[in-house]
């Protein structure tokens, strides 16, 4: 069975990376959710796609330069629709606490602008600490576009499965790929030949919103489909 993961929740219907979007993805039949994590200035993993809060909240500036209290004061819902006014940015801990027994949780570590920097900001350790606290080592995937980030996380908590995110055909040259449980390619990279060539990895593709494409990918044997519209893809694969 092909798994369905809500991309930043059910982001077509609710403000991305918020609890309403995650809850709606679950209600629409998603097997899991995908979300993006940054570290606040006081060391708390928080959920947002961009480093800067400008695009999806009523604030301005880098989330990495804000305290949790400042982040929690932001409205992350009004820019999507008035009925979501005053929806806060959630913490990773809040998501773990709410969904730990019911959904697979794909945590994309965003970290710093330069995610290949030699010095970590501590996001890998902070995420690992929460996974251990909530006993989620077998219910979380850690993903990133940065192999440096994945290497750091693996050194801290090797029992948690990794997913390497990529959008080009030439992204798989590093030997560390062999330590990743999953490949997370952009869906347009995946053809029947590509899926067969990489069959030793379960493949989770992003971001698929068209039923026809979802059916094509399921026929190729992909493991999971990350989508903005879990209800549409669930109906297509039924």
Catalytic one of 49, 52, 98, 198: 49
Around 89, how many Cα atoms within 13 Å sit in the side-chain half-sphere? 32
CA distance 209 to 106: 18
pLDDT one-digit tens code per residue, 115-127? 556 678 999 999 9
pLDDT band at 138 (very low <50, low <70, confident <90, very high): very high
pLDDT one-digit tens code per residue, 158-212? 999 999 999 999 999 999 999 999 999 999 999 999 999 999 999 999 999 999 9
Dihedral sign from CA coordinates of 211, 203, 27, 208: negative
User: What CATH architecture does domain 3-53+90-237 belong to?
Assistant: Alpha-Beta Barrel (3.20)
**According to the model, what pLDDT value does residue 112 have?**
60
Is residue 154 pLDDT above 60, yes or no? yes
Is residue 96 pLDDT above 80, yes or no? yes
52 is catalytic: no
pLDDT one-digit tens code per residue, 63-94? 999 999 999 999 999 999 999 999 999 999 99
pLDDT one-digit tens code per residue, 31-42? 999 999 999 999
The dihedral formed by the CA atoms of 94, 95, 98 and 100, expressed in degrees to the nearest 10 = -120
What is the pLDDT of the chain when averaged over all its residues? 96
pLDDT one-digit tens code per residue, 17-33? 999 999 999 999 999 99
CA distance 232 to 79: 24
**According to the model, what pLDDT value does residue 117 have?**
61
223 is catalytic: no
Residue 24: C-alpha distances to residues 20, 37, 41, 234 (Å): 6, 20, 30, 13
Catalytic one of 7, 154, 184, 223: 7
Domain-by-domain residue ranges, the chain?
A: 3-53+90-237
- Residue 2 phi, psi (nearest 5): -80, 125
Contact, 143 vs 109, CB < 8 A? yes
**According to the model, what pLDDT value does residue 118 have?**
64
**According to the model, what pLDDT value does residue 114 have?**
46
């Amino acid at each position: 069975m092909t798994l369905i993961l809500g991309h930043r929740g059910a982001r077509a219907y609710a403000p991305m990376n918020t609890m309403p979007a995650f809850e709606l993805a679950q209600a629409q039949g998603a097997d899991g959710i995908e979300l993006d994590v940054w570290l606040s200035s006081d060391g708390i993993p928080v959920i947002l796609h961009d480093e800067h809060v400008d695009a999806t909240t009523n604030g301005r500036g880098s989330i990495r330069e804000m305290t949790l209290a400042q982040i929690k004061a932001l409205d992350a819902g009004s820019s999507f629709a008035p009925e979501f006014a005053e929806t806060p940015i959630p913490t990773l801990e809040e998501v773990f606490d709410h969904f730990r027994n019911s959904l697979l949780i794909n945590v994309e570590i965003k970290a710093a602008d330069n995610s290949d920097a030699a010095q970590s900001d501590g996001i890998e350790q902070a995420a690992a600490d929460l996974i251990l606290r909530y006993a989620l080592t077998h219910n979380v995937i850690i993903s990133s576009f940065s192999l440096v980030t994945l290497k750091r996380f693996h050194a801290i908590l090797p029992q948690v499965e990794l997913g390497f995110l990529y959008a080009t055909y030439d992204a798989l040259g590093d030997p560390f790929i062999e330590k990743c449980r999953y490949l997370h390619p952009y869906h347009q990279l995946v053809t029947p030949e590509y899926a067969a060539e990489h069959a030793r990895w379960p493949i989770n593709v992003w971001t698929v919103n068209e039923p026809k494409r979802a059916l094509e990918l399921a026929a190729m044997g992909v493991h999971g489909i990350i989508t903005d519209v879990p209800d549409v893809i669930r109906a297509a694969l039924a």
